[in-house]
Amino acid sequence: MELTAEKTKTDLHSKYVSNPVLAEKELTKEKIREIIARRAAKEFKEGDVVTLGIGLPTAVADYVPHEKHVIFQSENGLLGVGKSQNSETPDTRIINAGGGFVEAKYGACFYDSQMAFTMMRGGHIDATVLGALQVDEEGSLASWMIPGKMVPGMGGSMDLVVGAKKVIVAMEHMSKGAIKIVKKCSLPLTAYKEVDLIITERCVFEFKNNQMILIEINPMFSVDDIKKSVDANFIVSKNLKYIQV
């Protein structure tokens, strides 16, 4: 269903309660994670090779339909990452880059970091889903450090944002009330103008022709709500839709 930018929060919610994922009136931490992961999982095409970053992005693998063939790669050396292991006695030998226990799909292979980063840097990854501390209106990404706090390093994010064909940021819309979508990143950058899509629990932004475009919105929020919760210039798509989960 297409929306107009003038639709109110009440109109949106009353007309979209048929979707159980979005029908709840309050967003718990678990529901926020589910909405973002479900929406990100819809971005992949049949046969895509996808690398998921640590944190929230690792949940995306749990929401890809069984009938869709998507190959997940993990930078710690696993091609063929499956869903999370929910068993009380998981196989602790198989983990993703974030240390979570995952399944290895039939035909999966294991390899060293050199091979993993060769894949990431060599243009063999169709899409990557990463978390972020900040994203700005130019599509620049800050994801690895907050000055004054100890960090282990940038990790594989800098390789993925320049090596993957599509860069998707999947993150909570705000952090403890702090705005994360900004006019200009104030934190050290991971990459400059490399983000293609931002997915949050409230909306989806697309970067196209040097513009940040609001293309989808959660029916719990209005366009005005989105404007108040970002510190960036954006335009509203003429074909604004409900967030697809």
In one letter, which amino acid is 209?
A: N
Domains and their CATH numbers in the chain? 9-242 (3.40.1080.10)
Q: Which of 34, 43, 75, 216 is catalytic?
A: 75
Q: Is 12 helix (H, G, I), strand (E, B) or coil?
A: helix
Query: Is position 75 annotated as part of the catalytic site?
Result: yes
pLDDT exceeding 70 applies to what percent of the chain? 87
| Mean pLDDT in residue range 159-185 | 94
Predicted TM-score (pTM) of the model is 0.88
Looking only at the bridges linking them, the beta strands covering 49-52 and 71-74 are parallel
The mean pLDDT value of the chain amounts to 88
Q: Is the dihedral of CA 236, 241, 242, 245 positive or negative?
A: negative
Residue 125 pLDDT > 90: yes
Number of helices (H), then strands (E), in the chain: 5, 15
In one letter, which amino acid is 211?
A: Q
Closest CA to 223 of 207, 244, 205: 205
Per-residue pLDDT at 17: 46
Phi-psi region of 157 (alpha: psi -120 to 50; beta: other; left: phi over 0): alpha
Per-residue pLDDT at 3: 58
pLDDT single digits (tens) 146-165: 766 766 667 778 889 989 99
- For residue 36, the surrounding DSSP H or E stretch is helix 29-41
